[in-house]
Chain A
Amino acid sequence: MARIVVDPITRIEGHLRIDCNVQNGKVDNAWSSGQMWRGIEIILKNRDPRDAWIYTQRICGVCTTVHAVVSVRAVENALNMEVPLNAQYIRNMIIAAHGIHDHMVHFYHLSALDWVDVVSALSADPKKAASLAQSLSDWPNNTWQEFKAVQDKLKGFVASGQLGIFANGYWGHPAMKLPAEVNLLAAAHYLQAFEYQRKANKITTILGSKTPHIQNMAVGGVSNPINPDSEDALNFERLAYIKAMIDEVGSFIHNVYLTDVTAVAAFYKDWLNYGKGVVNYLSVPEFPVDTKGTQFLLPGGYIPNGNVGAFEPIKSFNDALFEDNVKESIKHAWYDGEWDRHPYEEDTVPKYTDFQDDGKYSWVKAPSFKGKPAQVGPLANVLGMYAAGHEGTQKYVNLALSKVSALAGEKVGVGALHSTLGRHAARCVRTALLYDVLVQNYNLLIENMAKGDFATFNKPEFPSGEQRGFGFHEAPRGTLSHWVVINNGKIKNYQAVVPSTWNAGPRGSGDELGPYEASLVGNPIADEKKPLEVLRTIHSFDPCLACAIHLHDNENQDISKVSVW
């Protein structure tokens, strides 16, 4: 048996280490362990709740915006506040535009190199690549001239001998299967995707003032003044700029991203069987379109044990199903005690032991829903919306599956989504939905302005005594919640239960594997010295370790078991 240690996992946010035991060419046990802790929840104590979002947003610069939005929602929930419609629409547009950028960057720049062999692209025939690409979509930038230019650029880059970020990649790895022409097509789209994610980011910047780390949030709304009669406010020039960017981004999502993911899935259809892992799926509704957070554009809820028929919806920002059933366990995490607690009741008292395979081995707490570990993320989100009968979701899921089926030459059903590549497919389905939501919210904002409503802010009032609140948000990496206890206008306790904590968490109080760990079991490993397959499955979750937060490395390297490095 070999023990594989991959440290650092690259092309993610943050510092993650993954350990696997490999037996007969397959992973039979796995541990997920983070490397960095900053203590932001401790820093928040005794501060002004109106300031919390400024700090929490810095939990992550990749998942920027999300910890800002959810933080103001938590404080608003504690104060039982309503938020003006315009503020909801502006927040919604930021969430959607940021999510579109984030998902594109994840597929092309963070995970594509697990599937795409850049070196192979050098020997492709650009004309064949173009005719293949044109058979798959109407994207106007799929010309042979474009592909030839990209290939020439890559050849020049390689010939320079300075391989930079491509040095020591998994080129020629036995698990790489794409034909040279597909590799070239993907390499071209890798470069084009840089351009289109920038366009999505421009929307976030115009509304959010900058990105990463927007600065237009406020407890009670947003700071953006709406005033068509001012040059220093959200006016029609700003709105028209947003509309222009919205129009440009849509084509890339449908003609490039969706097409490429389905092509990769068809060429690697084995990977629709690996990487299933934990099948309790948790998601929350997103894109509120009323002032109270009771009506949403996209549904969310809980699916136990992969049973879509048993879906339980989560319906509002005050939903008891969500509030009552989230807990975190520290049985296998380096904190003092063995408790399972509700976030309002948690504390953070570190107690480092050592890396104990069967004991405590991680700084990540293990969240649970109804006492079970749950997978969160675009797959959970898409399955939840599918279960809820959401029309747009069913449309895009069926479209993606029919494209994969046609290319793979066999029927691929919804069940295939419970897999490593299923997570990528769900993420691009979600991107298509985010795009529709972006358009909807733009129109809602314009319509509401046309009615003469320019309000964007309700002033928060902090009563004396104690208030508790929670906020949730369906972020790009999944269900995110912040929990705040306020006492006499100051933060008494603050906890963030984060998507990458749900997914990267260690075993919980029932000793079940966390989602990363469970999804690795059964993965084939062709070359133990280059465990590309581990990266494929871990990247499919889009890890964000700064978010998962309560993390650091084991001191004990356990060298006797490290047979690889």
Chain B
Amino acid sequence: MSSYFPDSEMKTESPVSGVSRRDFLKFCTIMTATMGLPAGMVEKVMAAVENPKRPPVIWLHFQECTGCTESLLRATHPTVEHLVLDIISLDYSETLCAAAGHQVEEALHASVEANKGNFILVVEGSIPTADNGIYCKIGGKTAMEILKDIGPKAAACVAIGSCASWGGVQSAYPNPTGATGVSELLKEVPVINLPGCPASPYNILSTILYYLTLKKLPALDGEGRPVFAYGRLIHENCERRPHFDNGRFAEEFGDEGHRQGYCLYKLGCKGPETHANCPSILFGDVGSNAWPVGTGHPCFGCAEKGVGFHKPIHEQAAVYTVAPPATYPDFDEPKGKGIGVGAALVVGAAAGAAVAGGLKFSKVLKESDNSEEKKN
């Protein structure tokens, strides 16, 4: 077997993982034997690990709740079992790996060594940076140390969930542990952010399939988010948008408007300032209404930095998008020349004024309420 690697390579110590080629060979030999494969298959195992048919994925958990991993258990296309057995080679996951302790750390470092520059790194959870990172340690190393070790060796990194994207719940004031997103610490490789608490499983599944099929990263917005999932505000795709445009709002859980499915803006819905595809792909593959607004609860902006876990649920959102037309023009009329009537006029004009003047829409909306009351 010594012929498999040139001598020079066998002596090479990986500066990153601390696993030598000799240790890697030993790992593959043990792994082959343990799996009950004939000894002659060691080279095949090594070759497979080094030239994998299924792309290796290393999934690190830091300051997190495992909700993003859990979300994959709910996916149906593909399922997690299909993903793990047929599409990727999940070489490390604290949640799913059979091995523990020393055995699992060995598997991690063997994969990092063999797939340097070629594996996809998934990070779930934020990285605590306060007090030298002592608030999250695995196998005796801090999350900061592990990310610094392994991150630069990846082909690309997927920061799954709001925690890995921008700090998430633990970064809320006063951020006791200095929780930080991956992209602020890992500069050597591209980082794709998939915020959400948790992110839709289809956002990571689609990212992986995109990468495998087109051999490139998906188009990203300025926040490093794929535009196929985060290109629009929730407000733009919300099925309740017509109610917003026409001034029909739920005022309280269980009131008549709420039970009719009216807009939840006045209950604090952050759809107008949150980018995510929740209303277009929904959750759990169970048909209509399977997302927060669909069950009558305002979006709280879990995916958007500075919104989720930062603004109170019932505080009204800032509305940045252009206002809807006061009323819809005839199809052969130039846009913008319709005649406004009723609530639609008031709300539409108010929203327009809010955007133009940089005002909080909520404030203007209250004025519109008053004017409507007067009319009624």
With a CB–CB cut-off of 8 A, which chain B residues contact A457?
A: 252-254
With a CB–CB cut-off of 8 A, which chain B residues contact A225?
A: 253-254, 258-259, 261, 296
The answer for the CA separation of A224 and B35 in the assembled complex, in Å, is 50
Interface string of B288-305 (1 = CB under 8 A from A): 111110111100101000
With A54-B309, A201-B284 already in contact, 9 other A-B pairs whose C-beta atoms are closer than 8 Å: A6-B100, A60-B65, A164-B89, A205-B74, A215-B297, A216-B292, A232-B240, A455-B254, A557-B140
Cβ of A194 and Cβ of B35 under 8 Å apart? Answer: no
Q: DSSP majority for the B interface?
A: loop
With a CB–CB cut-off of 8 A, which chain A residues contact B68?
A: 61
Cβ 8 A contact of A40, one of B90, B169, B287 = B169
A144 at the interface (CB under 8 A from B): no
Cβ of A15 and Cβ of B312 under 8 Å apart? Answer: no
Q: Across chains A and B, which 4 residue pairs bring their CB atoms closest together, nearest first? A: A61-B67, A232-B261, A161-B48, A205-B284
Cβ of A210 and Cβ of B84 under 8 Å apart? Answer: no
Interface string of B166-207 (1 = CB under 8 A from A): 001110111111010000000000000000011000000000
Cβ 8 A contact of B36, one of A48, A119, A535 = A119
B8 at the interface (CB under 8 A from A): no
Cβ 8 A contact of A231, one of B52, B53, B197, B261 = B261
Q: DSSP majority for the A interface?
A: loop
The answer for the CA separation of A47 and B300 in the assembled complex, in Å, is 15
CB distance from B264 to the nearest CB of A (A): 9
CB distance from B243 to the nearest CB of A (A): 9
The answer for the CA separation of A170 and B88 in the assembled complex, in Å, is 22
Q: Which residue of A lies closest to B75 (CB)?
A: A198
Size bracket, chain B contacts: 35 or more
A160 at the interface (CB under 8 A from B): yes
Given contacts A15-B136, A221-B254, A231-B288, contact A163 B31 (CB under 8 A): yes
B interface residues, Cβ below 8 angstroms from A: 27, 30-31, 34-37, 41, 44-49, 52-54, 56, 61-71, 73-74, 76, 79-81, 84-85, 88-91, 93-107, 110, 128, 134-140, 168-170, 172-177, 179, 197-198, 239-240, 252-254, 258-261, 283-292, 294-297, 300, 302, 309, 312-314
The answer for the CA separation of A194 and B74 in the assembled complex, in Å, is 9
With a CB–CB cut-off of 8 A, which chain B residues contact A227?
A: 259-260
Cβ 8 A contact of B140, one of A7, A62, A64 = A7
CB distance from A127 to the nearest CB of B (A): 21
A58 at the interface (CB under 8 A from B): yes
Cβ of A64 and Cβ of B36 under 8 Å apart? Answer: no
Cβ of A164 and Cβ of B84 under 8 Å apart? Answer: yes
With a CB–CB cut-off of 8 A, which chain B residues contact A529?
A: 102
A444 at the interface (CB under 8 A from B): no
The answer for the CA separation of A109 and B93 in the assembled complex, in Å, is 13
With a CB–CB cut-off of 8 A, which chain A residues contact B169?
A: 38, 40, 43, 55, 58
With a CB–CB cut-off of 8 A, which chain B residues contact A518?
A: none
With a CB–CB cut-off of 8 A, which chain B residues contact A455?
A: 254
Cβ of B138 and Cβ of A35 under 8 Å apart? Answer: yes
A408 at the interface (CB under 8 A from B): no
Residues in A361-417 with C-beta less than 8 Å from chain B:
none
CB distance from A45 to the nearest CB of B (A): 9
CB distance from B225 to the nearest CB of A (A): 19
Given contacts A13-B66, A51-B313, A153-B85, contact A119 B35 (CB under 8 A): yes
The answer for the CA separation of A36 and B179 in the assembled complex, in Å, is 12
Cβ of B170 and Cβ of A160 under 8 Å apart? Answer: no
With a CB–CB cut-off of 8 A, which chain A residues contact B88?
A: 164
CB distance from B286 to the nearest CB of A (A): 5
The answer for the CA separation of A381 and B61 in the assembled complex, in Å, is 31
Given contacts A163-B31, A164-B89, A213-B197, contact A62 B70 (CB under 8 A): yes
Cβ of B35 and Cβ of A10 under 8 Å apart? Answer: no
Given contacts A160-B54, A207-B295, contact A35 B137 (CB under 8 A): yes
A296 at the interface (CB under 8 A from B): no
With a CB–CB cut-off of 8 A, which chain A residues contact B100?
A: 6, 8-11, 535
Interface string of A105-141 (1 = CB under 8 A from B): 1000110010000110011000000000000000000
Given contacts A54-B313, A172-B36, A191-B81, contact A37 B64 (CB under 8 A): no
Cβ of A198 and Cβ of B73 under 8 Å apart? Answer: yes
The answer for the CA separation of A90 and B73 in the assembled complex, in Å, is 23
Cβ of B104 and Cβ of A8 under 8 Å apart? Answer: yes
The answer for the CA separation of A34 and B259 in the assembled complex, in Å, is 45
Cβ of B44 and Cβ of A7 under 8 Å apart? Answer: no
A339 at the interface (CB under 8 A from B): no
Given contacts A35-B138, A167-B99, contact A210 B296 (CB under 8 A): no
CB distance from B43 to the nearest CB of A (A): 9
Q: Which residue of A lies closest to B43 (CB)?
A: A161
The answer for the CA separation of A157 and B80 in the assembled complex, in Å, is 15
Cβ 8 A contact of B283, one of A171, A197, A211 = A211
Residues in A54-69 with C-beta less than 8 Å from chain B:
54-55, 58-62, 64
Cβ of A162 and Cβ of B48 under 8 Å apart? Answer: yes
CB distance from A63 to the nearest CB of B (A): 9
The answer for the CA separation of A476 and B294 in the assembled complex, in Å, is 27
Residues in A189-246 with C-beta less than 8 Å from chain B:
191, 194-195, 197-198, 201-202, 204-213, 215-216, 218, 220-221, 223-227, 230-234, 237-238, 241
Cβ of B176 and Cβ of A42 under 8 Å apart? Answer: yes
A75 at the interface (CB under 8 A from B): no
Cβ of A43 and Cβ of B67 under 8 Å apart? Answer: no
Cβ of A211 and Cβ of B177 under 8 Å apart? Answer: no
CB distance from B259 to the nearest CB of A (A): 4
The answer for the CA separation of A171 and B45 in the assembled complex, in Å, is 17
Cβ of B63 and Cβ of A168 under 8 Å apart? Answer: no
